[in-house]
Structure 1
Amino acid sequence: MKQFFYAFIFLLLVACGPGNSTDEKAIDTDLNFTLDTLLIDPVDEFLYLNAGLRVAALDEKNQYLYNFNPNDYTLEKIDLDKGILAEKLPFEKEGPDGVGEMVFGMNLISSNSIAFMGYMNVRLFGLEGDKRSEFTFNDRAFGGDKLEQSENFQFLNNQMVDFHTMIGLIRDGRKKTYALGILKTDTQTLTKIPLPFKALENFRFKLSSPSRIQMSFPTVTISKHQKSYIISNDISNKILLYDNDSLFQIEYQSKLTADKKTGKYNQEFENEEAFKQTSLDMRREINFMAPLWDEEKQLFYRFSHKIIKIGKDVENYQDMESAVYLTVFDPDFNVLAESLVEGINTPPGYHFVKDGKIWMYINTQDEMGFVRLTVDVE
C-alpha cells in the first residue's frame, strides 16, 4: 500500500487577556447573526420534501438546486435566485436509461451531467434523462491498492466528483479500520488513504430484536474543496485534509463545547427501548457537522449541536430542543470565532452557503423554505 505523510496541526485557542502574548488572538464567542426566511414558489406542483433534501445537489454557481423526486422520477429544478420551481426534468426508473430502484445520493458533475448513487453503483446521466455510463464497485478487481475481502465501500458515503473520479469511505469490518478511497473509474485504479477513525467503532450500535434489526453508526462526510478533500465526522471536531498525497489532521479546542463525545455505551441491544435511549444519550453529547466553504467571504463555517431538552413525546423531532453552535474558520482552518446561534433550536438539515449567507432547509407546512443566516465576522 502506498505510504502517506501525516501532518498534525494543533490549534490551541487562547483568548487574549492581561499577560498574554500580543501574537495571541482573541476568539469571538458572541457573534452577531441576522435571520430571514425564503419560501419557494412551487408553481402549482407538489415538491418532494419527505427526504429532507437528502438527495439534492447544487449547480456550480449555487443558482439552481436539483431535488430528486422518487415518486415520479423527476428532478425538481429550483431557481434559488428567484425563489421558484423553474422546471421538472423527467427520468426513467427502469430500462436502458433507468435511474434504478434506489437512489441514495446525487452529484452534479457539470452544467448538464448528473450522477445518481445507488447501492454499490453510480449511474451518470445527462439532464435530458439519457444514461451515459454506469459503474459498479465492491467485489471487483482494481488496479493500484487492493480492496481486501473484509473491506467495502460504505455506499452512503460515496460521491462522484468529476466524470472519472469517485470518492468514498472504505471500512474494514474485520480490522475495524477506515480509509479514504479515491477510485478512477476510467482506469479502474484505486488509491486508499488510511484514516485515524478507529474511535468511531465505539459508536456503532446494533439492535437485534424479535421485530427488527437496526443499525446506528457515526456519520462521516467527505467533500472536495478546490484540489483537496475534507473529511470530518460527527463524533469529534477533528478535521482531516487530504492534499497532494498528504493527510493533515486539524485539531482545535472549543471554548463553548466539548471537542468530542466521551460517553461509554453498550453496542449490542435486544431491547428497542434501550437502543432508543442510548441514541438519545448520544445526541445529548456534542455532535459535529461538516465544514462549509463561503467563496464570497473566504471563510469556513461549521455547525455543532446537542440536545438540551426532550419533551414528553420523544418520537416527535419537534418535541426536542437543541443548542446549536457555529464555528468560523479562516481558509487555513484557524478558528476566528464561535458562538451559540440564538434563534435556532434544531440542528440544521440540508444546508449550504450562497451569496455570503448560510441557507438551511426547512419544511413549512409542506412548503420548501430556507432560513438564511448572515454572520457578522469582524
Structure 2
Amino acid sequence: MKKLLLLSSLALLASCSARESEKAESENILENFSFSVDTLIVDVGEEIFMPGAYDMFELSGDGDRLFTYFEPELEVHEIDLNAIKLLKRHKFEKDGPNMIPIYLNYMQNLSETELFFASSVQAGIFKKSGEKVKSISLKPEDYAGLGPDFPFSLGNSIVVSPDQNKVLTLPNQILGTAEGLAILDIEDMRGKFQSLPALEITKNFRVLTRRGNGGASLGESQRAKLVNGLVIIDSGATSDTYILDLKNDSLQLLTFPHQLVPKAKTGEFPSEVDSNERLREVTNGIYRQISFSQFFWDDGNQIYFRMGRMNRELNEALKKYTADVYLFAYDEEFNLIGETVVEGLDFMPTGGFTKGNKLYVEWVVDENPAFIEYTLNF
C-alpha cells in the first residue's frame, strides 16, 4: 500500500497542499464485506413526546452516550448507547439571557458540561444545565480581515475547534453552495477566508426555484464536520476532500483513485427553474449520478469510511427511491484501502453517527424513537 503522496506543505491560508491516494489492485479490505441490520428501540420510560423529532447527533467523549436535539421542547436528550435508554432531558430556554439560537441547525458536544449551538445567524456555547456561557458572532463586520464588505453569510456548516478558540464555517449566499472556508478566531476577533477550488464543482449540481420573497434549493452541497479530531470538508458531488488539521495549521486536498464509481458528477444542469415539478425533474437527474456521503470514523478498526450512491430511481411499486450503494474505506492517513458494491442495500444511509463498527440512523417504531443499527463486518 503506497502512502499518500505529499506534493507540497505550505502554511494554511497561504496555500493548500495536495495528497493523492493510491490503492494496490490486490489490496481491498472490503473484498469479503458483509453487514447486518438491527432495530434498537430507545427506552424512554414514562416520557411521552414526538418520537421522530430527534435531530443532530453528538457522542460523549467516551462514546457511550448520545446527545440529540429535540426541537419541539428545545431540549437535548442524553441517551445511554449501551442500554439504549433515555438518561436525561437537558432543557433550554427560548427567550431571555439564556435563549438558545432560533431555528437551530448545528450542535456540537464540547465537553461533559458544555454544548455549542448555532443557527444561520446566531451561535453560542451553553452549559448542559441551560446557562449561556458565551455568545459567538456570525457577523462578518465583527471580524478584522473580513469586515462589512464580506459578501457571504457565515452561518453555514459551522464547526468549533476542540480548543474552542476558533469557529470554522463554509460561507455561502442564501440557498447557495459554499464559496470557501472561513476561519474565525473568536479570541482576537479576526477572520480569514480560503477558497476551496476542488469543491467549486458543487455549484453545477444545485438548483433553485423562487417562491415570492423566498425559494427552495435542492441538490448537492459542501459539508464541514469534526471527525476524529480533524475537520473534514467534502461534497456530495465529488470524491475530492479537504482535511483541516488544526493542530498543525494545515489544509490538504485529498484525491482518491476510486475504481467502482466516477470521481465526480458531470454534465450541465440549470441553476434555476420556474416550478416545483421542474425542480424535481432536474434534481432527479442530478441524483442519478454519483453522490458521496459524509465521512465516518470507525474507532474499533481505526479506519474512516463513507458511502456512495448511483442510479437513484423512484420505485413505483415500493413508493420509494432505490439506488446502487457503495462503501469506501480509508486508513488513518486517508489511503483508499477498500471499495465495494453493498449488496442487499438499495438506499444510502445518511447522517447518523458511528460507534465502533456500527452505523446508527434515526428511526421510529410505533410511538417510540429508535435507531437502525448497521453492523459493518470488514
State the Cα distance separating 1:107 from its structure 2 match.
0.9
CA displacement 1:200-219 (0-9 Å, x = unmatched): 22123111256962123532
> Any idea what SS the aligned residue of 2:337 has?
strand
Name the structure 2 match of 1:8: 18
Does the 8 Å CA contact 1:4/1:247 hold for their aligned counterparts?
no
Letter in 2 for 1:292: F
- Percent identity of paired positions between Structure 1 and Structure 2: 19
CA displacement 1:350-378 (0-9 Å, x = unmatched): 3222133222332333532223333333x
Does the 8 Å CA contact 2:13/2:193 hold for their aligned counterparts?
no
| Counterparts in 2 of 1:338 and 1:46: CA distance versus 1, 3 Å | farther
> Any idea what SS the aligned residue of 1:110 has?
coil
Matches within 5 A, 1:116-195: 116-143=117-144, 145-147=145-147, 149-162=149-162, 163-171=164-172, 178-195=179-196
Q: Of the candidates 219, 222, 226, which is equivalent to residue 220 of structure 1?
A: 222
Letter in 2 for 1:221: R
State the Cα distance separating 1:328 from its structure 2 match.
0.8
Name the structure 1 match of 2:302: 298
1:45 aligns with 2:55: no
| Counterparts in 2 of 1:83 and 1:376: CA distance versus 1, 3 Å | same
CA displacement 1:19-57 (0-9 Å, x = unmatched): xxxxxx456444122333322112122454545x43332
| Counterparts in 2 of 1:72 and 1:141: CA distance versus 1, 3 Å | closer
> Any idea what SS the aligned residue of 1:82 has?
coil
Does the 8 Å CA contact 2:219/2:283 hold for their aligned counterparts?
no
Name the structure 2 match of 1:79: 80
Matches within 5 A, 1:229-244: 229-243=231-245, 244=248
The TM-score with structure 2 as length reference comes to 0.86
State the Cα distance separating 1:330 from its structure 2 match.
0.7
Name the structure 1 match of 2:271: 267
Letter in 2 for 1:206: L
Structure 1: how far apart are the matches of 2:118 and 2:14? 28
Structure 2: how far apart are the matches of 1:165 and 1:94? 26
Structure 2: how far apart are the matches of 1:49 and 1:105? 20
User: What runs of 5+ residues in structure 2 fail to find an aligned partner?
Assistant: 1-10
User: What runs of 5+ residues in structure 1 fail to find an aligned partner?
Assistant: 17-24
Letter in 2 for 1:235: A
| Counterparts in 2 of 1:91 and 1:366: CA distance versus 1, 3 Å | same
The TM-score with structure 1 as length reference comes to 0.86
CA displacement 1:205-242 (0-9 Å, x = unmatched): 11125696212353222123455422111100111112
| Counterparts in 2 of 1:2 and 1:320: CA distance versus 1, 3 Å | closer
Q: How large is the RMSD of aligned CA atoms in angstroms?
A: 2.7
| Counterparts in 2 of 1:83 and 1:273: CA distance versus 1, 3 Å | same
Structure 1: how far apart are the matches of 2:205 and 2:143? 31
1:286 aligns with 2:290: yes
| Counterparts in 2 of 1:299 and 1:26: CA distance versus 1, 3 Å | closer
State the Cα distance separating 1:94 from its structure 2 match.
0.7
Does the 8 Å CA contact 1:7/1:248 hold for their aligned counterparts?
yes
Query: Alignment length, in residue pairs?
Result: 362
Q: Which sits farther off after the overlay, 108-117 or 244-253?
A: 244-253
State the Cα distance separating 1:331 from its structure 2 match.
0.6
| Counterparts in 2 of 1:155 and 1:218: CA distance versus 1, 3 Å | farther
Structure 2: how far apart are the matches of 1:274 and 1:351? 30
